[in-house]
Amino acid sequence: MKRLFRTCLLASAMAAGLGLSGPALAAEGPGNDDLLNDAKTTGDVLTYGMGLQAQRFSPLDKLNPESVKGLVPVWSFSFGGEKQRGQESQPIIHDGTIYVTGSYSRLYAVDVKTGQKKWQYDHRLPEGIMPCCDVVNRGAAIYKDKIYFATLDARLVALNKDTGKVVWSKKIEDYKAGYSATAAPLIVDGKVITGNSGGEFGIIGMVEARDAETGELVWQRPTIEGNMGTLNGKESTMTGVLNASWQGDLYKTGGGATWLGGTYDPETKTLFFGTGNPAPWNSHLRPGDNLYTSSTLAIDPANGDIKWHYQTTPHDGWDFDGVNELVSFDLKKDGQTIKAGAKADRNGFFYVLDRTNGKLISASPFVTKITWAKEIDVKTGRPVYIDDNRPGNPANAEKGKPVFSAPAFLGAKNWMPMAYSPATELFYVPANEWGMDIWNEPITYKKGAAYLGAGFTIKPLYDDYIGALRAIDPKTGKIVWEYKNPAPLWGGVLTTGGNLVFTGTPEGYLKAFDAKSGKEVWKFNTGSGVVGSPVTWEQDGEQYVAVVSGWGGAVPLWGGDVAKLVKDINQGGSLWVFKLPKA
């Protein structure tokens, strides 16, 4: 009824506007309920994660391990430009249009049927931006008549979804201090919710909510203990307790960037945001747990208050950013259904938490080698450290004792999102097997300069593969099947009711696997490395699949010996759309 009323209003408004000059009216677009239902509605993809819980599961089953063999490209769309860098985006699909972001803070609207461009927005980036790990963007958000995305100069931009014209543009933080933004925003109850990037520059991690209509700030929640939150323009509550886990003034430059954005669970009305490494990397310069870095924070979307936290790597000394997404799911165990959340952490452990209170249910390794901790104690929820394997204290020397550490700081799993299938009750985790030589160095904070106090070289662990797509049973923590890939995996995962798992490879392929057996059942080479997240939807009775192609991201920049192995992969920038041929 409400929808019908809106549509009528809109129609009359449009009729009244005929022949008049003035701002173009955009069609209404999806509302809050549409976003909440996104995982169930197969005709569109309205949210990053294919549902706010970010299971990346579609119930669609026209494509299955048999029929997928006929999957062919419909069209490919080039992002253009001379600078082709990592394309880590997930497309949004609404009403016949694909909205997709590209490197260098670009956003495109493309016709689903023809691949023809409707509009393009190129954000004008200032000189001196400081993205740590390539000029990527992970995707846009849609709400009512606007499209939202974050830009490398740490701004949040809202565009008219039909014209690409800027409606508002707000500064998240000062790019000159090392802040940037790459995450796909999340929209809950009319608020655009984003994180920030810059953990390598001694920034303060933050989650913030803005009014989707006006861009005005509603609340901010710093991730580092001792910093003050805001609500409606006033101070609200302090994050944690001043100096409880940070000494002196270190909390003012403590890191904890929320660079991957978050997920939302409508059942418990909770936002989940992962937080990055404490700054600097050299852990001897900041005694204590350094809350709430390398953690998952459960946040109240109404006011930004922290409901609970779970820290995966207290006193992180390896850049084990805990930003990895917490995916809500029903854990069926011992005859009970538990409101759980799972997180495949950069530190190598796959955590299952009770998402109503943050209590640890289980933690199991999902890579073959973990040197920094023996295990996670389920009673205390804390890691059992192997102290000798922490990089040594340089004190006044140039360099502390180096150690070989696994996983490498690029993580057992980095940014690339996993998927969960309620049909198979398995998680599909894009993992990497690598280690690093790492050592600490003295460092002092300087605004806008790298704040690491560490040196490193990443090395592969095995000759025949680095990447491993692993199916994990959250009830047992056991790996049910795996697919090994020569190059590191750096793209997102999609799973479907048709018993399929899709993911991309740096070698250029989008691949499909049987979700139960792990058997590879289809592949297509897109011409450059695939490090984006595939999506699927249905249009006019046909099931489509889309993914962006374009090699880049952190591996070529920071991958050490692994970067050398993949140096011959060509860059690119394009959107590919697939479906079965018409019978």
By the criterion CB under 5 A, which residues form the site for Ca ion? 38, 41, 44, 199, 276-277, 319, 321
- Between 65 and 199, name the residue whose CB sits nearer to Ca ion: 199
Which class for 140: exposed (0-12), middle (13-18), buried (19 or more C-beta within 10 A)?
A: buried
The minimum distance between CB 564 and Ca ion, in angstroms, equals 22
How many beta carbons lie within 10 A of that of residue 125, not counting itself? 17
Q: Cα 106–111–114 angle (5° rounding)?
A: 125
Q: Contact 459/560 with Cβ under 8 angstroms?
A: yes
**Nearest residue to Ca ion, by Cβ distance, number only:** 41
The minimum distance between CB 520 and Ca ion, in angstroms, equals 27
- Between 203 and 479, name the residue whose CB sits nearer to Ca ion: 203
The minimum distance between CB 10 and Ca ion, in angstroms, equals 22
Annotated catalytic residue within 134, 316, 319, 345 = 319
The minimum distance between CB 55 and Ca ion, in angstroms, equals 12
E strand or H helix that includes residue 6:
helix 2-17
Three-state DSSP string of 331-358: EEECCEEEEEEEEECCCCEEEEEECCCC
- Between 298 and 454, name the residue whose CB sits nearer to Ca ion: 454
What is the spatial distance between Cα 537 and Cα 522, in angstroms, rounded to a whole number? 18
The minimum distance between CB 380 and Ca ion, in angstroms, equals 25
- Between 319 and 325, name the residue whose CB sits nearer to Ca ion: 319
What is the spatial distance between Cα 243 and Cα 341, in angstroms, rounded to a whole number? 30
The minimum distance between CB 274 and Ca ion, in angstroms, equals 11
Query: Starting at the edge strand that comes first in sequence, how are the strands of the sheet with 191-194 ordered?
Result: 186-188, 191-194, 206-211, 217-222, 228-231, 234-238
Q: Contact 154/201 with Cβ under 8 angstroms?
A: no
Based on DSSP, count helices (H) and strands (E) in the chain, helices before strands.
4, 40
319 is catalytic: yes
What is the spatial distance between Cα 478 and Cα 352, in angstroms, rounded to a whole number? 12
How many beta carbons lie within 10 A of that of residue 15, not counting itself? 9
What is the spatial distance between Cα 224 and Cα 522, in angstroms, rounded to a whole number? 45
Query: Which string of DSSP letters, residue by residue, matches 39-70?
Result: TT-TT-B-STTSSTT---EE---SS-TTGGGG
What is the spatial distance between Cα 59 and Cα 77, in angstroms, rounded to a whole number? 27
Nearest alpha carbon to residue 529 among 560, 485, 465: 485
The minimum distance between CB 37 and Ca ion, in angstroms, equals 7
The minimum distance between CB 277 and Ca ion, in angstroms, equals 4
- Between 41 and 78, name the residue whose CB sits nearer to Ca ion: 41
Q: Contact 88/531 with Cβ under 8 angstroms?
A: yes
- Between 455 and 527, name the residue whose CB sits nearer to Ca ion: 455
* Token code pair at residue 494: 């999609």
Give the DSSP letter of residue 90. Answer: B
Residue 515, phi-psi category: left (phi > 0), alpha (psi -120 to 50), beta (remainder): alpha
- Between 58 and 227, name the residue whose CB sits nearer to Ca ion: 58
Query: Starting at the edge strand that comes first in sequence, how are the strands of the sheet with 349-354 ordered?
Result: 327-333, 336-344, 349-354, 360-365
- Between 197 and 574, name the residue whose CB sits nearer to Ca ion: 197
- Between 86 and 474, name the residue whose CB sits nearer to Ca ion: 86
- Between 41 and 230, name the residue whose CB sits nearer to Ca ion: 41
CA distances from 237 to 121, 228, 242, 309, 511 (A): 38, 6, 12, 16, 47
The minimum distance between CB 133 and Ca ion, in angstroms, equals 8
Distance spanning both ends of the chain, measured CA to CA = 38
How many beta carbons lie within 10 A of that of residue 312, not counting itself? 29
Which residue has 């009729």 as its token pair? 15
The minimum distance between CB 281 and Ca ion, in angstroms, equals 8
Residues with a catalytic annotation lie at 319
